[in-house]
Amino acid sequence: MGIMRGISLAVNENIEWRSGEKIGGQDSTTGPESTSSSESTVQALKWLKECLLGKDCSHDSDHDLENGVAEANGPHRSSNALSESSQSLEQKDHQRLQLCDEIQTLYQKRSLSQINDAVSDERAARLVEIIDTGSTVNLRLVDGSIECTPYVALSYRWGGLEAVWQTTTSNLESRASGFSIDELPMTLSVTVKLTRNLGFKWIWIDSVCIIQDDKDDWAREAVKVAAIYQNAIVTIAADSSQDAKAGLHNNKSTSMFTMDDSIKISNKLFTGEESSIYLFPDQKTRLDDSITSLRDMGDLFSHCSLRDRGWTLQERILSPRIIHYASDQLYWECYHGIQESEDNLLWMGRNLTIPKIAHRVKSAKNVETKKQELNKVLYYWYVHLIGGNYSHRSLTYGEDKLVAIGGVAKALDDIESMGYMVGHWGDDDDELVKSLCWKRGGPGQKAAKYRAPSWSWASQDSIVDYGSYSLVGKDNDEIVAEPVTWQASAPDGTFFGRCTNAYLQIKAKFVGGTVFPNCGHDFSEYHQAGIGGGYTVDPPKERCAFLMLEGGETSDLVWLDESQATQDPVREGIDVKVVMLSEVRPEGEEPYPGACLICTLDERYYLTRIGFTEYVRPYKEGEDAPPVTGPKLCEKEAIELIII
């Protein structure tokens, strides 16, 4: 039998276990019938209260806060006293209101700076105020700089809709006076009503709180995303909605697991709370994956509609507390755990979070340990965040590529400044060189409109594969290129937004060569395992390109940044310049080029990246020698180059 983590598990000598209690099927759960039910709202409020108290979301509960809630609301009004399924509608509403009061008390006794670590003081310019008149709900745009305002944030998909509901310069003034909830599409209007039922008066919705036809306002607010989501008391994620008109709720919630033949083992803790562990046979879930192989709950959200959108990645990463309204059930997610409404199981949360990163960096005991922790941050950024996640997502507007991840970059930079610009971090020379070692991981090409320099992953409209990042500079592969300087213009006034006119000046060896598209290695019969086995990379449909250098070195593993129009070998070569980033130095053998950028050279002697190769191999004795027209790349002198 497989063993699942329960809500909590305490082991001591005084525990009396009640084993063998079957809980098979949906009858064993106490979850809401649908995410629109009153039970669903109460469940969300319970989760929020527990998180603010510190239970299940940190190592210790805040007993002072707990006592403060009891003093303010009275022990006879405990929100858990009416938790039976036989509650009347009046009792359920009483419980909801009681939870709302307790959460407001918690909020007043605990400032945002205590709840969220490393949150900047940037506030949204506007919030939507919910004015409840009883029979109707009216709205008003208000100044977002109100101190200690507990507001909700929304994460959703606009979809391919004409956003007639958005705030523009033409309706800004009237919306400051007031407007009807009926002006909003269903996903937004239902979320507003949910916010009211959760006991909050304010909500932040990007399309309503940012003036969409004012480029300056959009630029100012877009770079505040980190603070906006970090400061929200909770984020509502419309995971089941394909667009802004689809609504928020499901029709019926269902368990992820087949609970038949499962066993629940329970005990009472000294606090009076029940602790449980669930055991069940290994089985397939709705994701067609063995439950024992799921490493964290993030895998379970892969079916949700928000999973493939660019903007929603940082909204999830930056939000300390999220209520996920998924198609199957309600989920709670915070920095320390994820819980389901139907199975009532608490799962391990995200492996790496902003607070965890901040703690590790700031608690480093010496310079070397701190450097190691910062290198882990960079590995997380390039390999997992960009290569393994963000580059797989789509954006309606390609020019948002850097802006839509800039909030995460800013949050990391707030922990420790590492010289962020155009999607890369430049304070450590070797790490900057390693960050150039990406390749196209699927069909795609360079962005048609400039948004990043050619050497940046952000210049690509394709999946980016950072599999070479952890190989360059390791073992007998030595980094030999030296960054000299890099520059860019920031039209938004910050490098966490858009950029123009960027370049990298680097000292490196380079040589001429010829590249032949679709003449290199064929991956059609292979399936590459991702770094650490965490994900897989589908092989490119076209063959790699073949590279031949002036000194006779060759490589059949050249990934061009743009997919080729044909899958047939291209016999007519492209003249290129090859910039060597690392050199492989096998013991007792002649060194040869490692990671190299494949570039073109313009009339100004500026280089533009068009591809990447992991190594270039010299021909060996006994092989047919390719034509040699110059010295080998490793024999050249390093010079300063400019790559745009």
- The mean pLDDT of the chain is 82
| Domain edge (last residue) among 300, 323, 351 | 351
Domain boundary among 351, 383, 413: 351
Q: Which two tokens stand for residue 584?
A: 């492989």
Residue 24 confidence (pLDDT) above 90: no
Q: Are residues 366 and 314 in the same domain?
A: no
pLDDT tens profile 533-542: 333 445 556 7
User: Which of 306, 327, 351 delimits the end of a domain?
Assistant: 351
Question: Does the global pTM surpass 0.95?
Answer: no
Residue 541 has a pLDDT of 62
Sign of the torsion angle spanned by Cα atoms 362, 364, 368, 373? negative
Please say if the pLDDT value at position 120 is more than 70: no
Count of domains forming the chain = 2
* Identity of the residue numbered 210: I
DSSP letters for 172-207: HHHHHH-EEGGGS-HHHHHHHHHHHHTT-SEEE-HH
The mean pLDDT of 192-220, rounded to a whole number, is 94
> How sure is the predictor about 64, in pLDDT bands with cuts at 50, 70 and 90?
low
Q: What is the mean pLDDT of residues 557-573?
A: 84
429-460: pLDDT as tens digits: 999 999 999 999 989 999 999 999 999 999 99
At 147 the pLDDT is: 65
Both 365 and 345 in one domain: the answer is no
Domain that holds residue 135: 1-351
pLDDT for residue 602 is more than 50: yes
pLDDT in tens, 151-205: 999 999 988 777 789 999 999 999 999 999 999 999 999 999 999 999 999 999 9
**Given this model, what pLDDT does residue 92 score?**
81
SS3 of 150, please?
coil
Pick the range with the lowest mean pLDDT from 20-29, 40-49, 318-327.
20-29
Percent of the chain residues topping a pLDDT of 70: 78
Residue in the block written with tokens 């047939």: 568
Model pLDDT, residue 329: 87
Claim to verify: residue 368 and residue 414 sit in the same structural domain: yes
The DSSP call for residue 351 is S
| Residues 6 or more apart in contact with residue 12 via CB below 8 angstroms | none
Provide mean pLDDT across the span 52-74: 53
3-class SS of residue 4:
strand
200/250 same-domain check: yes
In the numeric block, the tokens 């070692």 are attached to 437
Task: For residues 395 and 531, state if they share a domain.
Answer: yes
11 has a pLDDT exceeding 70: no
Indicate whether 233 pLDDT > 70.
yes
* pLDDT (0 to 100) of residue 293: 43
Q: CB-based contacts of 600: which residues, under 8 Å, 6+ apart?
A: 574, 575, 576, 577, 607, 608, 610
Whether residue 404 is found in the same domain as residue 476:
yes
Query: Sign of dihedral through CA atoms 534, 539, 545, 551?
Result: positive
Contact 55, 63 (CB under 8 A): no
Same domain, 373 and 290: no
User: Could you tell me which of 548, 554, 560, 553 has the C-alpha nearest to residue 518?
Assistant: 560
Mean pLDDT on 120-141: 86
Residue type, 167: T
The amino acid at 239: D
Backbone angles phi, psi at 346, to 5 degrees: -100, 125
**Phi, psi dihedrals of residue 370, rounded to the nearest 5°:** -65, -40
Confidence of residue 85 (pLDDT cuts 50, 70, 90): low
Give the pLDDT confidence score for residue 278 in this predicted structure.
74
> Cα 634–639–641 angle (5° rounding)?
115
Can you tell me the distance from the alpha carbon of 225 to that of 315, in angstroms, rounded to the nearest whole number?
Answer: 8
Is the domain of 340 the same as that of 366? no
User: For residue 163, what pLDDT is reported?
Assistant: 76
420-421 vs 424-425, strand pairing mode: antiparallel
pLDDT at residue 273 in the model: 79
Say how many residues make up the chain. 644
Nearest of 313, 317, 262, 257 to residue 290 by alpha carbon: 257
For residue 617, the 8-state DSSP code is B
Which residue reads 């009076």 in tokens?
A: 272
Same domain, 342 and 370: no
What is the reported pLDDT for 15? 34
The predicted structure's pLDDT at residue 259 = 63
Query: DSSP string spanning 78-102?
Result: -TTTT-STT--HHHHHHHHHHHHHH
Residue 18 has pLDDT above 60, yes or no: no
448 lies in the same domain as 587: yes
Tell whether 371 and 232 lie within a shared domain. Answer: no
Q: Are residues 312 and 451 in the same domain?
A: no
